[in-house]
Structure 1
Amino acid sequence: MNIEATGFDDLYLITPKVFEDQRGYFFESFHHQKFREATGVDCEFVQDNQSRSARGVIRGLHFQVPPMAQAKFVRVLQGEVLDVVVDLRKDKSTFGKSYSVLLSAENKKQLFIPRGFAHGLAVLSDHAEFFYKCDNYYSPENERGIIFNDTSLNIDWKIAASESIISEKDTKHPAFKDFDSPF
């Protein structure tokens, strides 16, 4: 697997080595020891999640606060998404900055997102199936969000506002400037 630094501490883009022939393909989607040796990150995943969404869906920006903060290892099983993270770690030079990457079933790229990041995605294909591992359990009372269209973050979701589909919950998150980060 090829592990690329992103310019954000502990945020990594992973491209697996894919073995293809006339039967199809095979790849190792995660290998704990190889990942730890390459990055220095020792993360034990305890929960897997999967979602399916239609074109135009924007999910996010979501995160959990301590003590239930989560690191995530994300990938797309079907379709294509723009995956977006925002650094919420006050002590980092990348605090308040976003990182976006196209993840698809075709490119098989994956993103490791450490604790202290808000996460979101926009579905760019007709449908997308999104899969992610978490290193902590879902905790509704510790779930938080930042409004996806925050003007100070200036995220280009690659979806026209008139075509976007957003949950009511995701339209009620606070602006980044109103968020007091515990990270």
Structure 2
Amino acid sequence: MTIPNAYRITPDRHHDLRGHFYEAFRASELSDAIGYPFVVRQANYSSSRRHTVRGIHATALPPGQAKLVTCVRGAVLDVVIDLRVGSPTYGMVETTRQDEESGVSVYLADGLGHAFLALTDDACMNYLCSEPYVPGTMLEIDPFDPEIGIPWNLTAEPVMSAKDAGAPTLAAAAAAGLLPMYTDCLAHYAALKAG
């Protein structure tokens, strides 16, 4: 993607009379692409009704939590935002349509935020995470912050958690010192590469 350390993965799909098959990801190839090992330490699933907005979510560094996210049922508009203060793409947004037919996945490194809009009922997302969840380390940013300007193109009122609806703007989170620094993220990536 145009945001450094974010990747869109489009698998080769194989069809026959039974249906289709594809390799969702191979750790060695993803690790080669990102420049350090991607080790899965937790897997999560979410199921969302149509018009649900989840996010913007990230994890404080440390401990961080890189993610490989895939829509395994239904369809979503997936969003990556650069939350790394000092990054050349700070505040930039990239969107990807993910659905069960395409198998497209999105990898986002530590320091990047994630959100999505469920475009169908019962949209199911799979998250492969580099670190287990640690209470108190989650970062939430207002997904409707006009300074960010995510093109949600909503056709109905969004369904949201109270926590997401009450999340601070990007500017307020930065002013409060909640966001990761780009230099710290680069040092973190280098440490991962060094092993």
**Same fold at TM > 0.5:** yes
The amino acid that maps onto 1:174 is P
How many residues align? The count is: 177
2:118 to 119, 123, 127: 123
Note if contact 1:73-1:111 (Cα within 8 Å) is conserved in structure 2: yes
The amino acid that maps onto 2:140 is G
- State the distance in 1 between where 2:153 and 2:100 align: 18
Note if contact 2:74-2:122 (Cα within 8 Å) is conserved in structure 1: yes
- State the distance in 1 between where 2:80 and 2:135 align: 20
The amino acid that maps onto 1:72 is K
Structure 1 residue 159 and structure 2 residue 157: aligned? Answer: no
User: Which is richer in helix?
Assistant: 2
SS in 2 for 1:130: strand
Indicate the larger mover: 130-139 or 89-98.
89-98
Gap regions ≥5 residues in structure 2:
182-195
2:52 to 49, 54, 57: 57
Are residues 164 and 9 of structure 1, via their aligned partners in 2, closer, same or farther at CA, if it must alter by over 3 Å?
same
CA RMSD of aligned residues (A): 1.3
Counterpart position of 1:177: 171
Note if contact 2:3-2:92 (Cα within 8 Å) is conserved in structure 1: no
1:7 to 2, 15, 37: 2
The amino acid that maps onto 1:54 is R
- State the distance in 2 between where 1:57 and 1:144 align: 19
The amino acid that maps onto 1:166 is M
TM-score, with structure 1 as normaliser? 0.92
- State the distance in 2 between where 1:16 and 1:119 align: 21
The amino acid that maps onto 2:167 is H
* Alignment deviations for residues 9-64 of structure 1 (CA, whole Å, 9 cap, x no partner): 12110011111100122111111112223342421110000011100000000111
